[in-house]
Structure 1
Amino acid sequence: MEALVKASAPGRLDFLNTHQDYKGLPVVSVAVDLRTTVTLRRGEEFEITSLNTGERCHFSKPLIEGRSFCDYVKAAVISVEREGVVLRGFSGELYSDIPIGAGMASSAAMLVALVGAMLRLAGRGADLYTVAELAYRAEREVLGVPCGRLDQYGSAFGKVAVIYPKPPVRVERLEMRGGVFVVLDSGIRHSTAEIHPKRQAELQEAVEILREALGVESEGYWDFPWEVLEARRGVVETLPQPLRDRVLFTLEMQKSTERALAYLRGADVDKALREVGREMLYQHHLLSRLYEVSLPKLDQLVEEAVAAGAYGAKLSGAGLGGVVIALAPNREVAERVGQLSSAERWWVVEIDEGLRYGD
């Protein structure tokens, strides 16, 4: 077992197929070059200090009390120990470049780095799937955050990651050559816990109607065979509003993502970036018009980004606030996009690798 371990994990952007993972459909993440780094040493109790805030977390038994920095550390310990790993204690530090509340999954990056460091300190070899899943369980099951697997898997695997969420979870990593992203913060705070349940209830109602009309077996929107609807668009058109729009959104977003991934897998780099940018704009249109999770401010940020030279832009995350991400051809254009935007704050980020150990 190593006496000292250092692990770091990147923030991530919700790139393509937003609002689709809870339907069992693939989502696409991009890891960025803002990271959280954890350094751990073996100890008798559990102690870790945030170098960003100076907050010190010290405990002998991990009892969850809320969703503070210390609770996230405890959740990581609980998740790892549930896997049968014995953690006798550690001391360490955590530092993060990832801004909180900026749509870059800072909490997921922290959990991925913590879980990776804990497993290595305990002498347990673990692949990226194990680290990502334990980080996901820490946030979803231990802390009770209503998240999908996008954040933790996107951070652990890095680069451009296509995450297929139906068990067994599968991840396809793609190389995206060229392109720089801009993250534009609307300054409007939002709550995933308020947005997801409403859309999920609408989808469940739609699925119950479609299940009977098509004679297919399904327990709900999670395992519904969405692909059968492509040849049965007429049935979708009979749904009442807003159910019809929610289902059309699901189908159109999936088709758009398949087109974007085909471009990314191709050999023409410049064409890929331009076409992916167009698909981002189309996906924002779908999120705004058919899923109704955009706001005038988010639409404005998208328009400003394109006017400043971005290939495309879309809201990232649950919507009704939060951030817009824009794809620019180079850093010079990306800086211009940020400077000319009406965003409350903004960052230029580039694609980065996932979980890594050492300096």
Structure 2
Amino acid sequence: MIIRSKAPLRLGLAGGGTDVSPYADLHGGSILNATINLYAHTTIIPRDNGKIYLEAQDIDVSETVDSAQVIDTSGKLGLLKGVYNRIVKDFVKKPLSFEIYTRVDAPPGSGLGSSSTLVVSIIGAFAEWCNIPLGEYDIAHLAYEIERVDLGLSGGRQDQYAAT
């Protein structure tokens, strides 16, 4: 079985910054954006070898780790690892063994929400593989929590919601 997922990148048109804490927490936010014909892609291939192989094809980085309840999120593949940790913790409750390949059609720092969109795409692939009943808003909220809370990355909320 091969699981594939993709999510669209977004172009911010107005209101950028009003989705970032603490402003958004105090005043809410007003954002206008549109998704575009560029995507974050994820492929998961389940394995039973006790290993996790992670590969970000667009930045040419790969790593193999032992399957565990929690894996270290340091390094350039922290987003992939952070999603795995949260999926195991909140949903499957046991280590998984698989290969994951990701690719984003725009580089990090492009201003198109590539990192957040990648997280949405990865969550979508895990949800499909593990039969996790997540709606679009659930995926967006989970992606926000993984990036901002679990991994401590700064940013707002518009990217995750636009990508779902």
**Could you tell me how far 1:35 is from its partner in structure 2?**
0.7
**% identity of equivalent residues:** 24
Q: Tell me whether 1:85 sits opposite 2:92 in the alignment.
A: yes
Distance 2:107 2:63 in 1: 20
Distance 1:78 1:132 in 2: 17
What RMSD over aligned residues (CA atoms) do the two structures have, in Å? 1.8
Match of 1:4 in 2: 2
Distance 1:45 1:130 in 2: 28
How do 1:60-75 and structure 2 match up within 5 A?
Answer: 60-61=67-68, 62-66=71-75, 68=76, 70-75=77-82
How do 1:20-35 and structure 2 match up within 5 A?
Answer: 20-21=18-19, 22=24, 23-35=27-39
Q: Tell me whether 1:155 sits opposite 2:163 in the alignment.
A: yes
**TM-score, normalised to structure 2's length?**
0.83
Match of 1:14 in 2: 12
Aligned partner letter, 2:44? L
**Could you tell me how far 1:122 is from its partner in structure 2?**
0.9
SS in 2 for 1:101: coil
Q: 1:106 to 1:121 in 2, by over 3 A?
A: same
Distance 1:57 1:104 in 2: 26
CA contact under 8 A between 1:79 and 1:135: conserved in structure 2? no
**TM-score, normalised to structure 1's length?**
0.40
CA contact under 8 A between 2:9 and 2:163: conserved in structure 1? yes
Q: Deviations over 1:130-184 (max 9, x none)?
A: 111111111101110122211111112xxxxxxxxxxxxxxxxxxxxxxxxxxxx
> 1:41 is matched with which residue: 14, 38, 45?
45
Whose helix fraction is larger, Structure 1's or Structure 2's? 1
Aligned partner letter, 1:47? Y
Greater relative contact order (CA < 8 Å, ≥ 6 in sequence): 2
Whose strand fraction is larger, Structure 1's or Structure 2's? 2
**Could you tell me how far 1:121 is from its partner in structure 2?**
0.9
Task: Please say which structure displays the higher CA radius of gyration.
Answer: 1
CA contact under 8 A between 1:42 and 1:91: conserved in structure 2? yes
Distance 1:82 1:117 in 2: 16
Task: Give the unaligned 5+ runs of structure 1.
Answer: 157-359
Distance 1:25 1:96 in 2: 27
Distance 1:74 1:140 in 2: 14
**Could you tell me how far 1:9 is from its partner in structure 2?**
0.9
Task: Give the unaligned 5+ runs of structure 2.
Answer: none
CA contact under 8 A between 2:17 and 2:156: conserved in structure 1? no
Q: Tell me whether 1:95 sits opposite 2:103 in the alignment.
A: yes
CA contact under 8 A between 1:8 and 1:37: conserved in structure 2? yes
CA contact under 8 A between 1:6 and 1:40: conserved in structure 2? yes
Distance 2:120 2:14 in 1: 22
Q: Deviations over 1:84-105 (max 9, x none)?
A: 2345221132122112211001
Q: Deviations over 1:207-230 (max 9, x none)?
A: xxxxxxxxxxxxxxxxxxxxxxxx
